[in-house]
Amino acid sequence: MPEIKVTPLGAGQDVGRSCILVSIGGKNIMLDCGMHMGYNDDRRFPDFSYITQNGRLTEFLDCVIISHFHLDHCGALPYMSEMVGYDGPIYMTHPTKAICPILLEDFRKITVDKKGETNFFTSQMIKDCMKKVVPLNLHQTVQVDDELEIKAYYAGHVLGAAMVQIKVGSESVVYTGDYNMTPDRHLGAAWIDKCRPDILISESTYATTIRDSKRCRERDFLKKVHETVERGGKVLIPVFALGRAQELCILLETFWERMNLKAPIYFSTGLTEKANHYYKLFITWTNQKIRKTFVQRNMFEFKHIKAFDRSYADNPGPMVVFATPGMLHAGQSLQIFKKWAGNEKNMIKEDIAAITMYIVIMPGYCVQGTVGHKLLSGQKKLEMEGRTTLEVKLQVEYMSFSAHADAKGIMQLIRMAEPRNVMLVHGEAKKMEFLKDKIEQEFRPLPDPKKPRTMHGTLIMKDSSLRLVSPEQALKELDLNEHQLRFTCRVQLQDPYSDTDTLSRVYNHLKSVLKGYTVQHLPDGTVMVESIVLKVSSSAEDPNTKVVLLSWSYQDEDLGSFLSSLLRKGLPP
């Protein structure tokens, strides 16, 4: 029986910081090495010390494979290779190799130059790290060493995204990275052959979603933009610099071309230009349409989309602006948003129709706490820094253009690859549970992934051997008596009734409060709540003051302290 061990260091049952260790046939492979966007401390990188204490990783890892250039899949790469120390090969596809350093450099600039953090990787480290990268081609089988071979498949998620098949002897694992089963305007659909791996490690971002047809989405989007522009309105589309931005650009560009529209489209400059250059080069990684027409015209050479300048925001007339970042939490997109949301009142004077003239279209996911998230949850008044409030009068639209496979897509991939086992990562635990049930119905039961759980155990050191056993067994083996730790506590109550009456009153009260617990009135004048014992006795000085004696064991500490505080509040009349 082959033993394949999969340990997620990140993005096991959440999104961000993707990093998965796979041990297969004696080889150790790291799949992705991402960072978490939500943290600014040590938690943003995977915990590499899990692998090896303070040493270098080179001895332990046979290779590292990066699926695509998104930072939550490659953000920790320089940290791992240069700061923790790894000299082995890093595999990624050509486009990923080209674009990944741009994003890493941008990320470094923001963290170090803007936020002023120290102890972060430097530009030189990024360069050194990229020197260790070995590029991969699609469907090319690369022999990492004599036994380990890897092969990349098209994943569709972003330019250069790949799924990898890892094979040692007769055992194999497929890691999907992020993938998309529905083709879009610039990328094709993920594809894999019937390779029948032992485990398919699949992302499950949209485990509970089956999306509408993409044409509905595109049509809605184009219609909204077109209508607004035609009425002379302005459209702001906050996007992330790479990935969906290109998709929407192509969508609008071709629409403008088809419909002969003249309104300007702007794109806030920055790293996009550099990245766009690579999009133009890696035509083979795009979809059928772009591949077939690029001889006449490269679709990424936009005719209608121009670079944005800050001053353009005040220009009269219709315009469409793509601005980064996508969550409206900072930068140019927020600036433009503030400008337009605030200018609203002036515009109304000029033209009544201006109320609907501005729209914001949110094409993607927004993290809680950002302006984007607030807008999407329907807030009409936003608090800005400096205690100013911003009244939102413009229209806000949410349109999902995410390039992840939906539930049906995941199923389709499973059907294509026919794996023996499926492991879901990169998603929310609850949603995964749901999808897991579906997959089991469809195919066959899956083994439960091991989750970390707190358990009590006893470590026995005896005859120079170490064993982990349950406490009961340890007691028995060592022939020891079990000691019980009990807490007792007295609670004084003002209650004019007799002891027994008070006891039954306490009993009734507890019974009504503690639903779902066993509350017993024992004939020997005690009340038992689970294992907690309550006794009532009158105070010596004052018959109206009753003393309730509570006693609970160490294991029931939570319930016991709750009961004592409950009783201190008194009984209901």
Partner 1 sequence: YTSHLRIEQHPHEEVPAKKLRLTKPSKSAALHVDLCKASSPTDALQYLLQFARKPVEADSVEGVVRILLEHYYKETDSSVRLKIASLLGLLSKTQGFTPDCIVDDVINTLNSERSHQVLAQLLDTLLVIGTQVPESLNMRHRLIDVACKHLTDTYFGVRNKCLQLFGCLGSVDKPLPRESEGGGTGMAAKDVQSIISDYFGDQDPRVRTAAIKAMLQLHERGMKLQQIIYNQACKLLSDDYEQVRSAAVQMVWVLSQLYPESIVPIPSSNEKIRLVDDSFGKICHMVSDGSWVVRVQAAKLLGSMQQVSPHFLEQTLDKKLMSDLRRKRTAHERAKELYSSGEFSSGRKWADDAPKEKVDTTAVNLIDSGACGAFVHGLEDEMYEVRIAAVEALCALAQSSPSFAEKCLDFLVDMFNDEIEEVRLQSIHVLRQISTHITLREDQLDTVLAVLEDSSRDIREALHELLCYTNVSTKECIQLALLELLKNLTKYPTDRNSVWKCLKFLGSRHPTLVLPIVPELLSTHPYFDTPEPDMDDPAYIAVLVLVFNAAKSCPTMTALFSDHTFRHYAYLRDSLSHLVPPLRLPGRKLTSAPEASGLASSVESAQNFLKESLTRVCSVQQLDAPGAQSLLEFTIRDLQRLGELQTELAGTADFCATYLHCQLLLMKALQDKLWSVAVPLYLKQNAMVSGAAAQVLEETYKLEFLYSGLESRQIASIHHVRLQAKALQLVLLARTRRGVEPLLSACEKFLHEVDAFQRLFVTELPHFQDSFVDKLLDIMPRLAGSKPADLVKILQTTLRHSCFPQLKLPEQIRRATAAIIEPTGESDNPLRFTSGLVVALDVDATLEHVQDPQTTVKVQVLYPDGQSHVIQPKPADFRKPGPGRHRLITQVYLSHSAWTEPCQIDVKLLLAYSSSTSRSLGPRSAWNESTEGPTPLESTIEGTIPLSKPVKVFIMPKPARR
Answer yes or no whether residue 223 interacts with partner 1 by CB under 8 A: yes
Question: For 234-275, what is the HEC assignment?
Answer: EEEEECCCCCHHHHHHHHHHHHHHHHCCCCCEEEECCHHHHH
Question: From edge to edge, which strands make up the β-sheet containing 421-425?
Answer: 141-143, 148-154, 162-168, 171-175, 199-203, 421-425
Question: Contact with partner 1 (CB under 8 A): which of 118, 377, 464, 465?
Answer: 377
66 or 159: CB nearest partner 1:
159
CB of 430 to partner 1, least distance (A): 5
287 or 458: CB nearest partner 1:
287
44 or 185: CB nearest partner 1:
185
Answer yes or no whether residue 297 interacts with partner 1 by CB under 8 A: no
Q: Is the peptide bond before 316 cis (omega within 30 degrees of 0)?
A: no
Answer yes or no whether residue 240 interacts with partner 1 by CB under 8 A: no
Binding positions for partner 1, 253-282, rule CB under 8 A? 254, 257-260
Q: Given the structure tokens 């925001």, which residue do they identify? A: 313
Say how many residues touch partner 1, by CB under 8 A. 55
64 or 362: CB nearest partner 1:
362
Answer yes or no whether residue 189 interacts with partner 1 by CB under 8 A: yes
Answer yes or no whether residue 501 interacts with partner 1 by CB under 8 A: no
What letter represents residue 85's amino acid?
Answer: G
Answer yes or no whether residue 367 interacts with partner 1 by CB under 8 A: no
CA distance 435 to 451: 17
Q: Which of 354, 405, 470, 454 is nearest to 192 (CA)?
A: 405
Answer yes or no whether residue 380 interacts with partner 1 by CB under 8 A: no
Can you give the length of the chain in residues? 573
Tokens of 353: 């129709």
CA distance 124 to 517: 62
Answer yes or no whether residue 438 interacts with partner 1 by CB under 8 A: yes
Query: CA 506: distance to chain centroid?
Result: 48
Answer yes or no whether residue 406 interacts with partner 1 by CB under 8 A: yes
Which CA distances in Å does 220 have to 157, 361, 401?
22, 11, 12
Q: What is the DSSP letter of 449?
A: P
DSSP-assigned beta bridge partners for residue 237: 322
- Residue 509, phi-psi category: left (phi > 0), alpha (psi -120 to 50), beta (remainder): alpha
Answer yes or no whether residue 402 interacts with partner 1 by CB under 8 A: yes
126 or 376: CB nearest partner 1:
376
Question: Contact with partner 1 (CB under 8 A): which of 127, 132, 217, 511?
Answer: 217
Which among 23-31, 181-189, 232-240, 269-277 is the span making contact with partner 1, rule CB under 8 A? 181-189
- Binding flags for partner 1, 451-490, as an x/- string (CB under 8 A): ----------------------------------------
Structural contact between residues 94 and 137, judged by C-beta atoms closer than 8 angstroms: yes
What are the φ and ψ backbone dihedral angles of 516, each rounded to 5 degrees? 95, -5
72 or 406: CB nearest partner 1:
406
Query: CA 239: distance to chain centroid?
Result: 18
Answer yes or no whether residue 23 interacts with partner 1 by CB under 8 A: no
274 or 289: CB nearest partner 1:
289
Answer yes or no whether residue 301 interacts with partner 1 by CB under 8 A: no
Q: Given the structure tokens 């702001």, which residue do they identify? A: 236
Which among 202-210, 269-277, 328-336, 387-395 is the span making contact with partner 1, rule CB under 8 A? 202-210
CB of 352 to partner 1, least distance (A): 22
Answer yes or no whether residue 208 interacts with partner 1 by CB under 8 A: yes
81 or 205: CB nearest partner 1:
205
Question: Contact with partner 1 (CB under 8 A): which of 416, 528, 549, 566?
Answer: 416
CA distance 299 to 465: 68
| 3 state SS of 140 | coil
CB of 185 to partner 1, least distance (A): 6
Which among 52-60, 262-270, 322-330, 407-415 is the span making contact with partner 1, rule CB under 8 A? 407-415
Answer yes or no whether residue 444 interacts with partner 1 by CB under 8 A: no
Tokens of 248: 């929407």
Structural contact between residues 99 and 160, judged by C-beta atoms closer than 8 angstroms: yes
Tokens of 375: 């807008």
CB of 292 to partner 1, least distance (A): 9
Answer yes or no whether residue 155 interacts with partner 1 by CB under 8 A: no
Question: Contact with partner 1 (CB under 8 A): which of 70, 94, 185, 535?
Answer: 185
Binding positions for partner 1, 309-328, rule CB under 8 A? none
Question: Contact with partner 1 (CB under 8 A): which of 33, 319, 336, 407?
Answer: 407
Tokens of 22: 């796979």
What letter represents residue 219's amino acid?
Answer: R
**So which residues are the catalytic ones?**
203
Question: Contact with partner 1 (CB under 8 A): which of 37, 38, 128, 191?
Answer: 191
Structural contact between residues 121 and 71, judged by C-beta atoms closer than 8 angstroms: no
Answer yes or no whether residue 307 interacts with partner 1 by CB under 8 A: no
Answer yes or no whether residue 398 interacts with partner 1 by CB under 8 A: yes
DSSP string over 323-372: ES-TTSSSHHHHHHHHHHHHHHHHHHHH-GGGGGTEEEEE-S---TTSHH
428 or 530: CB nearest partner 1:
428
User: What number of other Cβ atoms are within 10 A of residue 58's Cβ?
Assistant: 14
* CB within 8 Å of 497: residues ≥ 6 apart: 505
Interacting residues with partner 1 (CB under 8 A): 182-183, 185, 188-189, 191-194, 206, 208-219, 222-223, 226, 254, 257-260, 287-289, 362, 376-377, 398-400, 402, 406-408, 411-412, 415-416, 430-431, 433-434, 437-438, 441-442
